[in-house]
């Protein structure tokens, strides 16, 4: 067991605090990772607002890269010294999804068995709930060994750690879930960190045109840098018409884009995504709706008559062992600009301020560097 500094959300809605936690030595199937960098994601804020569940206190942070410090007795996949990106999809290999070959859909992903605990205050000894089973706003964290994915050790931790969640979700929404490829058009509605990652994924896939839609011109600039061929400010124009016009310049008669990624997570933007889609096209919902939202009221005949697919994308339908090393290599080759997602590097004490900036839409990602 060792004691390290970490960012904890102790009670619902209260500002997060830097405190000391106990990190157990790794048991069977576990690893302790010394964190080098961890991005600040909306999900961390949702945890601290009590929007995910009530299992306070939470150890926040989950978009991280670091060095494996120690592994449990039976662990063979990773070893001390390995540079890894942490994932929240450690597959079991034994559930129905894994057995039928859909490993990326594993129904029984796992986390560390032992619990990290608070080391300071009246509630010292209380078990922590690590965000997404990771908890990486910490000098060190305990995870399942399968949550550690080895990647090129010369890559910048602050950039590649972001593959651990939001950036992977966006890239995977376009490529893995949406099937973006050459000869297809892609539109992305909502260009925050997840949406611009979907734009970057579409660009990697060779799709064209790639249309970025947002109500914030700053976000559209970022989308252009990551490969959008066209941008649409949907606070000014109807995005459904704009997408149809742009795609039909390339593909005559097209009624919309082949793949429309919704990266906001709201009924009205999902509805636009639906109608901005060409016949037999695919809508991918990667934005996360809140539990109170209901699907938009629409004529059922519209679902039937347009054909195609309405999908949702969890973590970009990624398989970390396949996707992380490949995307890190593309980054190292200069073909995927992960640095563009790192708006700022901050210290472990700056997470609350980063939540505030995220709220105002000023950043793609603030990254805590340790």
Of Zn ion, ligand APR, none, which one sits near residue 313, judging by CB under 5 to 8 A according to partner kind?
none
98 is a site residue for Zn ion (CB under 5 A): yes
In whole angstroms, give the CA distance from residue 334 to residue 302: 42
By CB under 6 A, the residues from 262 to 301 that bind ligand APR are 263-265, 269, 287-288
Instruction: Report phi then psi at 3, rounded to 5.
Output: -110, 135
Binding status of residue 211 toward Zn ion by CB under 5 A: no
Residue 243 token pair: 């997408």
Instruction: Between 219 and 230, name the residue whose CB sits nearer to Zn ion.
Output: 219
Q: Does 45 bind ligand APR (CB under 6 A)?
A: no
Among ligand APR, Zn ion, none, residue 219 binds (CB under 5-8 Å by kind)? ligand APR
Of these, 164, 178, 190, 320, which contacts ligand APR (CB under 6 A)? Answer: 190
Q: Which does 95 bind (CB under 5 to 8 A by kind): ligand APR, Zn ion, none?
A: Zn ion
State the first-to-last Cα distance of the chain, in angstroms, to the nearest integer.
20
d(CA 123, CA 312): 40
Distance CA 15, CA 351 (A): 9
Looking at beta carbons only, is 72 or 170 nearer to Zn ion?
Answer: 170
Residue 363 contacts Zn ion per CB under 5 A: no
Which residue number, 17 or 233, has a Cβ lying nearer to ligand APR?
233
- Does 216 sit near ligand APR (CB under 6 A)? yes
The correct pick among 104, 184, 219, 244 for binding ligand APR (CB under 6 A) is 219
Per DSSP, the residues of 228-270 read -SEEEETTTS-HHHHHHHHHHHHSTT--SEEEEEE-S--HHHH
Rounded to the nearest whole angstrom, what is the least distance from the CB of residue 104 to ligand APR in the complex? 18
Q: Which structure tokens are listed for 351?
A: 């997470």
Q: Quote the least distance from Cβ 92 to Zn ion, whole Å.
A: 4
Pick the stretch among 1-9, 113-121, 186-194, 203-211 that binds ligand APR (CB under 6 A).
186-194
Nearest to residue 260, comparing CAs of 241, 274, 242, 245? 274
Distances in whole angstroms, Cα of residue 220 to Cα of each of 195, 198, 233: 10, 13, 8
Q: How far is the CB of 59 from Zn ion (least distance, A)?
A: 14
| Residue 95 sits in the site that holds Zn ion (CB under 5 A) | yes
**Partner whose binding site includes residue 240, from ligand APR, Zn ion, none (CB under 5 to 8 Å by kind):** none
CB of 162 to ligand APR, least distance (A): 11
What are the backbone dihedrals phi and psi of residue 171, each rounded to the nearest 5 degrees, phi first?
-60, -45
Does the protein bind ligand APR through residue 62 (CB under 6 A)? no
Shortest Å distance, C-beta 191 to ligand APR: 5
Which entry of ligand APR, Zn ion, none binds 361, CB below 5 to 8 A by partner kind?
ligand APR
Report the alpha-carbon distance of residue 59 to residue 138 in Å, rounded.
Answer: 8
Nearest-angstrom CA–CA distance, 20 and 140: 11
Six token digits for residue 68: 């494996």
Ranked by CB distance to ligand APR, the top (closest) residue is 192
Distance CA 366, CA 356 (A): 11
- Residue 95 CB-half CA count within 13 A: 13
Partner whose binding site includes residue 128, from ligand APR, Zn ion, none (CB under 5 to 8 Å by kind): none
Site string for ligand APR, 191-210 (x = CB under 6 A): xxxxx---------------
Question: Do the Cβ atoms of 210 and 202 come closer than 8 Å?
Answer: yes
User: Cα(242)–Cα(249) distance, rounded to whole angstroms?
Assistant: 11
For ligand APR, which residue of 42, 104, 140, 306 counts as binding (CB under 6 A)?
42
Q: CA 6 to CA 139: how far, in whole Å? A: 7
Where along the sequence are the contacts to ligand APR (CB under 6 A)?
A: 42, 166, 189-195, 213-216, 219, 234, 263-265, 269, 287-288, 361
Interface residues toward Zn ion, by CB under 5 A: 41, 43, 92, 95, 98, 106, 108, 165-166
């Amino acid at each position: 067991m060792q004691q390290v500094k970490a960012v904890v959300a102790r009670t619902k809605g209260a500002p997060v605090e830097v405190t000391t936690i106990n990190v157990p030595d790794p048991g069977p199937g576990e690893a302790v990772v010394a964190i080098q960098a961890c991005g600040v994601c909306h999900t961390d804020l949702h945890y601290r607002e009590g929007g995910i569940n009530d299992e306070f206190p939470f150890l926040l942070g989950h978009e991280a890269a670091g060095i494996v410090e120690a592994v449990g007795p039976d662990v063979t996949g990773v070893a001390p010294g390995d540079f890894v990106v942490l994932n929240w999809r450690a597959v079991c290999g034994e559930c129905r999804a894994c057995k039928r070959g859909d490993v990326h859909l594993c129904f029984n992903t796992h986390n560390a068995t032992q619990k990290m605990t608070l080391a300071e205050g009246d509630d010292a000894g209380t078990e922590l709930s690590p965000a997404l089973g990771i908890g990486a706003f910490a000098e060190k964290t305990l995870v399942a060994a399968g949550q550690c994915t080895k990647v090129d050790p010369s890559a910048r931790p602050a950039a590649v750690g972001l593959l651990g969640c939001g950036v992977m979700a966006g890239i995977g929404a376009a490529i893995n879930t949406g099937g973006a490829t050459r000869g297809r058009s892609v539109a992305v509605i909502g260009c925050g960190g997840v949406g611009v990652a979907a734009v970057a994924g579409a660009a990697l896939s060779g799709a064209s045109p790639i249309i970025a839609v947002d109500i914030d011109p700053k976000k559209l600039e970022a989308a252009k840098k990551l490969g959008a061929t066209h941008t649409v400010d949907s606070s000014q124009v109807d995005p459904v018409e704009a997408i149809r016009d742009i795609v039909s310049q390339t593909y005559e008669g097209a009624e919309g884009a082949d793949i429309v990624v919704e990266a906001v997570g709201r009924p009205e933007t999902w509805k636009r995504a639906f109608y901005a889609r060409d016949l037999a096209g695919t809508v991918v919902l990667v934005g996360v709706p809140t539990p109170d939202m209901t699907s938009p009221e629409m004529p059922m005949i519209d679902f039937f008559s347009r054909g195609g697919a309405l999908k949702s994308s969890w973590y970009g339908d990624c398989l970390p062992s396949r996707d992380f090393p490949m995307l890190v290599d593309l980054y190292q080759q200069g073909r995927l600009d992960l640095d563009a997602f790192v708006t700022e590097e901050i210290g472990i004490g700056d997470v609350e301020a980063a939540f505030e900036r995220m709220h105002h839409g000023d950043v793609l990602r603030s990254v805590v560097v340790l």
